[in-house]
Amino acid sequence: MNTPTPGPWQVATVKEIIRETKRAKTFRLALSEPSRHFAGQHYVVRLTAEDGYTASRSYSVASPPEQSQDIEVTVERLEDGEVSSFLHDVVVPGDELEVRGPIGGWFVWRGDTPALLIAGGSGIVPLMSMLRLARRSGRSDLVHLVVSVRSPDDLYYADELPGSDTTVVYTREMPQLWARPPGRLGEDDLRHVLVERATAYVCGSTGFADHATSLLTGLGFADGRIRVERFGPTG
Q: Which amino acid is at 160?
A: E
CB 53 to ligand FAD: min, Å: 13
Task: Give dist(CA 24, CA 115) in Å, integer.
Answer: 26
Position 189 contacts ligand FAD (CB under 6 A): no
> What's the CA dihedral at 79, 11, 205, 234 to 10 degrees?
-80
Position 99 contacts ligand FAD (CB under 6 A): no
Residue 128 parent element (H or E): helix 124-136
Give the CB-nearest residue to ligand FAD.
Answer: 81
Contact pick of 12, 31, 125, 193 for ligand FAD (by CB under 6 A): 125
Q: Which is nearer to ligand FAD, 138 or 233 (CB)?
A: 233
Interface mask toward ligand FAD for 18-57; x: CB under 6 A:
------------------------x--------------x
Position 83 contacts ligand FAD (CB under 6 A): yes
Burial, 138: exposed, middle or buried (Cβ in 10 Å; 0-12, 13-18, 19+)?
Answer: exposed
Q: By C-alpha distance, which of 121, 132, 12, 9 is closest to 74?
A: 121
With beta carbons less than 8 A apart as the criterion, state whether 71 and 17 touch.
no
Q: Which is nearer to ligand FAD, 170 or 208 (CB)?
A: 208
Which spans of this chain sit near ligand FAD (rule: CB under 6 A)?
A: 42, 57-60, 73-76, 78, 80-85, 122, 125, 205, 229, 231-233, 235
